[in-house]
């Protein structure tokens, strides 16, 4: 599997970028996945993240099969953005996986749990329903 690694911190003061990259490299190596690109980003609440967009462009070109992130909150700018991006990635056949110390997770179980919360009610029911239906 060809993967793109995306590591992000919100501020320069945060020191987890090297740890994120190390963990994600090791995770991919154990699975014999080929790392096509590694992107490190420093951005907090930005409307646009050019480095994230660079990774999404590779997904759209089908140059990667999976985006691997350290934690789910490192990838999405907001819950609505995350669901919209997941919908697009799913339509492209590109998966989004995240790593944590307890192991790998696919994003769809997490989104299913989130959908039960009030936060999800603020999102378009159509977008949420489509995302969950397409990814069961």
The residues annotated as belonging to the active site are: 10
Which token pair is 91? 């339509």
Measured CA to CA, the distance from residue 45 to residue 10 in angstroms comes to: 8
Residue 136 and residue 115 in contact, taking contact as beta carbons nearer than 8 Å: no
Burial 30-60 (b: 16+ CB within 10 A, else e): eeebeebebbebbbeeeeebebbeebbebbe
Which residues, in sequence order, are CB contacts of 101 under 8 Å at separation 6+? none
């Amino acid at each position: 599997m060809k993967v793109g690694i995306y590591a992000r911190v919100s501020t320069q003061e945060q020191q987890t970028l090297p740890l994120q990259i190390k963990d994600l490299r090791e995770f991919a190596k154990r699975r014999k996945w080929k790392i096509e690109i590694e992107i490190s980003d420093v951005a907090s609440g930005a409307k646009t993240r050019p480095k994230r967009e660079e990774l999404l462009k590779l997904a759209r070109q089908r140059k990667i099969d999976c985006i691997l992130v350290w934690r789910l909150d490192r990838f999405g700018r907001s819950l609505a953005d995350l669901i919209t991006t997941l919908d697009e990635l799913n339509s492209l056949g590109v998966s989004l996986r995240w790593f944590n110390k307890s192991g790998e997770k696919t994003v769809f179980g997490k989104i299913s749990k989130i959908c039960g919360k009030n936060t999800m009610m603020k999102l378009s029911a159509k977008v949420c329903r489509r995302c969950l239906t397409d990814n069961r």
